[in-house]
Amino acid sequence: MLLAVLRARGGQPLAIDPSVVPWAYHALALAAGSLVLFGPRLILLIAAAGSWIWVLIYIVGGSDPKYSFIADEFLLFAALPVLGALSAGFTLVEERDAAAPERDEAVDRGQLWQLRMCTLVALVFAGLHKLNVDFMAPQTSCATLLGRRLAEHWSLPAVPLPPLGVVLAEGLAPVLLIFYPRLGALWLVVLAAGLGHVGPYAFNALLVALAVGFLPTAPGEAWARRARRWWPALLVALLAVGAASTRLYQGPDAWWPYLVFEATLVLVAWLVLIYPGAGGRSSGWRPALPARPWLPGRFAHRSLCGYAVLFMTLHGLSPYLGLKFRFSFAMLSNLRADDDRWNSLVVPRVVHLRATDPLVHVLGAYDLAGESIKARARDRDALRPGTYGPQEFRRRYEEAVRRGQPLRLQVRYLGVERGFGDLRFAPDLRAFVAGLPRMPLFQGALSGSRPQACVH
């Protein structure tokens, strides 16, 4: 959570002025800092849940242009404390007559189930969404872009990442976490190390921390004995990784948040390696089925588990259903599921619930003589042929009006095609733009019917 705050604050990571950094992020930092200082407390988990909900409302509301980007990983950050707090509350009510040790064990078991479920859903859908023709094509794949960015930012050799290899590596992670949890946790550390070093370090730090939750419960004293014995190895690893990191980093942003991320990777890997085994033995490499019953608790908590799975699954499927795109773990996937392009290799178009998508399709942009206008490739404000979310189309229209650009448009919206005259003087186009709804949970600008380049 602290890394998420640092990432959001950008060039002013330590600012405390609410006119610079919104109060929602101050609340998030306070909840995260309290968890670090005082350890796990139910009241702090509730505070973390409340602060994340506040952040989501602030971002989706779109009142602050500096804090309006809706990252898919925010859903996981918010869902974990919310479901963890609800799980504890349901269990405490159901186990109110049990002895304190049994009640605490039931709370732990229920919360671990929620953490594991959310992790698996995020990993499964992140892999599923990448099974599309544009991610698999090296020319457009986000794997190619991220591999190049990793080499540039960290002075590494430019080794191309094969898109199919990326999908297989991500798909292997949930399988290993279920059946070989110790190996799966280390595998997730490796995956997170690659993606986290090109920007989303907060999300990847969260994933590797969650990997520890898949290890079967081990006696606390056995953990402590091994930690006391092997802490010098942790210290040496931290120093070695930090020294290598500071020499290799060539990126545009501050380096020290990456150091915190790397310390998280090293700590998790160390915890997994010194794991004493569920019975106090140094096992844990053998395959094992999850313990039954697979839904912990009594009726109320099991019902919560079912609704939680449904909630997370609907979010993951939402791009294909036409409900929304953001908060569905489709980041960096090249996925398209709209009228102009449906590129999924595994999910058919027939599952789409809408008659048409809610996006604005610019079919043509012409000058007053009827010739197609070619905007500069790096002009992020140009109104060119493509597919736009309503709010992005409005923004580009207003920019074209501000520039005084003579421009005629041919667009399709909600299945209806229409043409507009010179946008500087077209009242029908002005009325059309004014009537567009805010739909921030859909993408901003896409490539129309052409292959989709990598966008977050």
Peptide bond into 181 cis (omega under 30): no
Q: What is the pLDDT at residue 442?
A: 95
Q: For 130-144, what is each residue's pLDDT tens digit? A: 999 999 999 999 999
Pairing of strands 360-366, 386-388: antiparallel
Q: For 377-428, what is each residue's pLDDT tens digit? A: 788 899 999 999 999 999 999 999 999 989 999 999 999 999 999 999 999 9
Closest CA to 166 of 187, 186, 191: 191
Whether 280 shows a pLDDT value over 50: the answer reads no
- Are 103 and 358 contacting, i.e. CB atoms less than 8 angstroms apart? no
Residue 420 — φ and ψ, nearest 5°? Answer: -130, 145
Taking CA atoms, 396 is separated from 381, 388, 402, 408, 426, in Å, by: 6, 10, 10, 14, 15
- Of the listed ranges 5-9, 288-292, 296-300, 416-420, the least confidently predicted one is 288-292
Closest CA to 432 of 405, 448, 412: 412
Mean pLDDT, rounded, for 318-343: 96
Burial letters 69-108, b for 16+ CB under 10 A, else e = ebbbbbbbbbbbbbbbbbbbbbbbebbeeeeeeebeebbe
Q: For 164-219, what is each residue's pLDDT tens digit? A: 999 999 999 999 999 999 999 999 999 999 999 998 999 999 999 999 999 988 77
User: Using CA atoms, how far apart are residues 201 and 305, in angstroms rounded to an integer?
Assistant: 29
H or E element that contains 418: strand 416-420
Whether 281 shows a pLDDT value over 70: the answer reads no
Q: For 144-164, what is each residue's pLDDT tens digit? A: 999 999 999 998 887 778 999
Q: How many angstroms separate the most distant Cα atoms in the chain? A: 83
Q: What is the pLDDT at residue 11?
A: 66
**Token representation of residue 142:** 């986000």
Average pLDDT value over all residues in the chain? 91
pTM for this predicted structure: 0.92
Q: Is 382 helix (H, G, I), strand (E, B) or coil?
A: coil
Residue 408, strand partner residues: 366
Q: How many CB atoms lie within 10 A of CB 282?
A: 12
Q: What is the pLDDT at residue 220?
A: 81
